[in-house]
A = this chain, B = another copy of it.
Amino acid sequence: MPHVYDHPRAALTVDCVVFGFDGGELQALLIRRGLPPFKDTWALPGGFVRVEETLDEAARRELEEENGLRNVFLEQLYTFGSVHRDPRERVVSIAYFALVKPEAVAAATDAAEAKWFPVSDLPTLAFDHAEILTTALSRLRGKLTYQPIGFELLPRKFTLTQLQRLYEAVLGHHLDKRNFRKKVLSLDLLTPLEESRQEGPHRPAQLFRFDPERSDRLKERGFLFE
């Protein structure tokens, strides 16, 4: 396709902030750059948008190519367009954030040069990726309190304690067990399973799964956590 509009053009990339949860800390997936600029520095997975794919498609393609990730929760975050974010030329980047279930975390780690870092202890990042990551983190915190997306970071079957640990890790403070359980169950989003999980020398925990159908009903009204 020829350039109908004739200007010097910025290059377009997508960058993905991929969050995972290991049961204790919130983690972000980074990739070590093999080429300059910022060779050998950690960076967000991402790459150029092709002229025949949408932005979402570009983000999903990069996640699959670079990290072997499929079917993750993915949402557009913000578009970063500082003039000199890339030292070589003008590059505008549409940032996404992704939430990955533990089942998929292993796959991601297999990918060459990809590694999970706890968000509390990140290495120096290339470009403006530290800023992007900070933006993603505050968006995640915000969303967690008014939309049921925490489940995207947990295995399909999980206990209420796991869910509470996740909320505590992301929000950064302790929650009261009884109030948390009362609140979560009152939202009527979880289906208790027959099974329970035995893990250690103590009473086994009831397993639940998230019920997206119930969630849809709720989404419109909105809910509020905390």
Contact = CB atoms under 8 A, between A and B. Distances in A.
Interface stretch (A75-83, A181-189, A201-209, A210-218): A75-83
Given A53-B83, A55-B79, A55-B81, A7 B48 contact: yes
B51 A4 contact: no
B76 A79 contact: yes
Given A81-B54, A81-B55, A2 B89 contact: yes
Interface stretch (A8-16, A17-25, A115-123): A8-16
Contacts of A53: 83
27 contacts: A1-B8, A1-B89, A3-B9, A3-B89, A4-B11, A4-B88, A5-B11, A5-B48, A5-B88, A5-B89, A5-B91, A8-B51, A9-B9, A9-B10, A9-B11, A10-B12, A10-B49, A10-B51, A52-B90, A54-B82, A54-B83, A55-B79, A55-B81, A56-B81, A76-B78, A79-B94, A224-B224
